[in-house]
Structure 1
Amino acid sequence: MDPLLAPTTIVTAAAAGGQTGVVDPSAVAAAPAAVRAVAAFCLVAVVGGLLRWRAADVVDRAQATWTDSVLASLAYGLSTHAVLVFAGVYLANKFSTYRLFGGASGDAGLAFAVVLVGVAAALGFTVVGSTVADLAVGATATQGLLAGAAGAAALAAAPLSVGAVVWFGVVSLGIGGAVREWVHASVDAEPVAESSS
């Protein structure tokens, strides 16, 4: 579990009527810095490693695109975070009206949002860590992944208010380039398809 998800979890828990069994935001915020750091390192190392293993082309494209326009990548990444938070709040609200799982249906929407934000965080730190390590010392993909995980751990150990802001900035940079490329690829693909017919 991503230790810096407290702001997202608080928003979605509030939207779900304050009832959540997935994450207690105060427990995340009150966790010792070392526990948050280990959790962040493990999140990025495991999920980032899985992304490197199963979707290396996605990571490589994201790595190549975020440096093209850093401010645009940051804007697209922040927008992606907003969409993920909205989706979590929406799903938690919608699912909380159903009593399919004995009153815990709202937790399914919250859990979905937490998983998405965790994967986005792992991708963002993997991309930024790999790029910075590659530019600094010509590191391999594994060394870049570990650099990203170490960066996530350092931010998780920082005071929560500062660490969370920088955390979301780094993740936004890492995922923003890929999101920008995806959005513009769908727009650019339409004229090509129309001109070929």
Structure 2
Amino acid sequence: MQAPAVLSAVQLTGVSPALHAPVPLLASLPLQTVDPSAVLDLPAPIKALGAFLASTVFGGAVIYRYGGRLPAAVDASTASLPLSAVYGMLAYGLVSFLIAYGYTQLFRLGVGAPALTVLGAAVLGGGLLALAGVGYVVVGAWLAELTGFGDPWVGLLGVGLVGAIAVLVLPLVAGVAVWFGIAAVGIGGPVRRWIHADAAERRVDEH
């Protein structure tokens, strides 16, 4: 019974009413726009440049915001480098698990797959890069102190360059492992100290 009315609307306006239906912005994006394989196919120099920028930009933000806490973080990570590496990997695993869990919950709520792909990739990438930034700052500050420079910015740039060279010259898996491994050493000390601290100490660290 509604067909004549719909036809009249099309004839009068020249636009189908279906075109006015709301379409979520993220749902309209093709999955290929966030295809992870596109990053893997980039030339090695581009990936190395991206690795350097990621470590220095995120690390620089950490220095700017939390520079006063670097000495304590360096002490925590250098107290036991092997343990720091283990706890750093645990931090990566925990962040990835929490993001994957949130992804599955949103999927159960009916959020469209393209929207989840964009959101999940952005949150996962941002979370891992933020952790890496912390790690590179801590390792860089430690090496700057050992070499007598004392400036965490110099250490951050130096360690970021080392990580970028690893991505450039090593096979993909090995280069990524070295890049994240450097960050894991820097992250692990503060993470280990936070896990084993009591509630009062955690509240102090958060302020």
Offset of residue 24 of structure 1: 2.1
| Cα distance in 2 for residues equivalent to 1:128 and 1:162 | 19
Identity over aligned residues, as a percent?
A: 31
Structure 2 CA distance for partners of 1:139 and 1:23, relative to 1, 3 Å: farther
| Cα distance in 1 for residues equivalent to 2:102 and 2:120 | 4
Residues 62 and 127 in structure 1, CA contact (< 8 A), matched pair in contact too: yes
Structure 2 CA distance for partners of 1:47 and 1:84, relative to 1, 3 Å: same
1:165 matches 2:195: no
Gaps of 5+ in 1: 1-18, 191-197
1:146-179 deviation per Cα after TM superposition (whole angstroms, max 9, x unaligned): 1122122112213212112222321110100010
1:86 matches 2:60: no
Give 2:195's aligned residue: 183
Q: In terms of Rg, which structure is larger? A: 2
Offset of residue 132 of structure 1: 1.7
| Cα distance in 2 for residues equivalent to 1:91 and 1:22 | 21
TM-score normalized by the length of structure 2: 0.73
Offset of residue 188 of structure 1: 7.4
Give 1:40's aligned residue: 51
Structure 1 segment 110-121 matched on structure 2, within 5 A: 110-121=121-132
TM-score normalized by the length of structure 1: 0.76
| Number of residue pairs the alignment of both structures matches | 172
Residues 96 and 107 in structure 1, CA contact (< 8 A), matched pair in contact too: no
Give 1:138's aligned residue: 149
1:66 matches 2:77: yes
| Cα distance in 1 for residues equivalent to 2:33 and 2:132 | 18
Give 1:51's aligned residue: 62
Let me know the Cα RMSD of the aligned residues: 2.4
| Cα distance in 2 for residues equivalent to 1:120 and 1:86 | 14
Structure 1 segment 8-19 matched on structure 2, within 5 A: none
| Cα distance in 2 for residues equivalent to 1:34 and 1:133 | 26
| Cα distance in 2 for residues equivalent to 1:20 and 1:167 | 27
| Cα distance in 2 for residues equivalent to 1:58 and 1:116 | 20
Of stretches 123-132 and 72-81 in structure 1, the one that deviates more from structure 2 is 123-132
Of stretches 112-121 and 180-189 in structure 1, the one that deviates more from structure 2 is 180-189
| Cα distance in 1 for residues equivalent to 2:57 and 2:201 | 34
Q: Name the amino acid aligned to 1:81.
A: Y
1:127 matches 2:138: yes
Residues 77 and 188 in structure 2, CA contact (< 8 A), matched pair in contact too: yes
Residues 31 and 114 in structure 2, CA contact (< 8 A), matched pair in contact too: no
